Amino acid sequence: MNADHIIGKLCALPPVVWHACFELRAMPRPERRHRVGIIAGKARAFKDVRSRRDKANLVALIDAAHVAPPAPWTGPVRISIESRLPVFEGPAWRREAALAGLVCHTSKNRGDVDNLAKLVMDAMTDHGRWWKDDGQVVELHARKIYAAVPSTFVEVEFLEDVTREKWKERGAWSNVARDAADYAVSPLGHHIKRALFTCKDQGNETPEAT
């Protein structure tokens, strides 16, 4: 099995049925590690009070964005999270390069990229109108960059939840195109390869994915 075949399989996700983008105008914060204390002689883990506060603030901002669906989605989800962090103090030329995206944010002072994304996803779970559980997220794109205004940009896509009836109606989902025309640029600038699904007349044969 060559690399192209593996990538093709990974890209072959169900079609997008709903899409939303929104920006949270607040300093991106990471999910912090649980604290451990001793109660009645037993070790107990506690959620950091700062994480609880930061998550509550994000829930309020998400609600104020007025982009959430009317009811939580029960199928698979794809999400992109871009943490836009304040540019560092330093030479003017390097600051300009950072704002142009030519200097990567490798500092851990503002948190790791996975922890920054986790707090946003936890806030969306607590909001209650995005999904039942963040285990439904099957694809995650996360990055952190320098920006003039600190914020978090979120792009959410709900993917079709395939049922037996839909599978029979569509036939075989196959022929994932691999040319440049199949790449779509998201609002975050990601070149996302979108699978193309074609219906084939299989007659009485059992449909097989290629």
Query: Tens digit of pLDDT for each residue in 49-98?
Result: 778 899 999 999 999 999 999 999 999 999 999 999 999 888 999 999 99
C-alpha 88/C-alpha 144 separation (Å) is: 14
Q: Find the CATH number of the domain harbouring 167.
A: 3.30.1330.70
Domain count, the chain: 1
C-alpha 60/C-alpha 51 separation (Å) is: 14
Query: In this structure, is residue 200 part of a structural domain?
Result: no
Query: In this structure, is residue 92 part of a structural domain?
Result: yes
How far, rounded to the nearest angstrom, does the alpha carbon of residue 4 sit from its chain's CA centroid? 24
Query: In this structure, is residue 88 part of a structural domain?
Result: yes
Is residue 1 pLDDT above 70, yes or no? no
CB neighbour list of residue 200: distance below 8 Å, 6 or more residues apart: 171, 172, 174, 207
For 2-6, 116-120, 139-143, 203-207, which range has the lowest pLDDT when averaged over its residues? 203-207
DSSP 26: S
Query: In this structure, is residue 199 part of a structural domain?
Result: no
Domain that holds residue 129: 3-193
Query: In this structure, is residue 210 part of a structural domain?
Result: no
Nearest to 127 by CA among 83, 76, 62: 62
Which residue in this structure is represented by tokens 């200097």? 103
From its phi and psi, is residue 33 left (phi > 0), alpha (psi between -120 and 50) or beta? beta
Question: Strands 42-46, 137-147: parallel, antiparallel or unpaired by DSSP?
Answer: unpaired
Query: In this structure, is residue 208 part of a structural domain?
Result: no
Name, of 6-20, 52-66, 158-172, the range with top average pLDDT.
Answer: 52-66
Query: In this structure, is residue 188 part of a structural domain?
Result: yes
Nearest to 72 by CA among 127, 132, 10, 1: 132
Query: In this structure, is residue 35 part of a structural domain?
Result: yes
The sign of the CA dihedral 166, 169, 174, 177 is negative
| Three-class SS of 73-107 | ECCCEEEEEEEEEECCCCCHHHHHHHHCCCCCCCC
Name, of 51-55, 120-124, 197-201, the range with top average pLDDT.
Answer: 120-124
- Residues above pLDDT 70, as percent of the chain: 66
Is residue 208 pLDDT above 60, yes or no? no
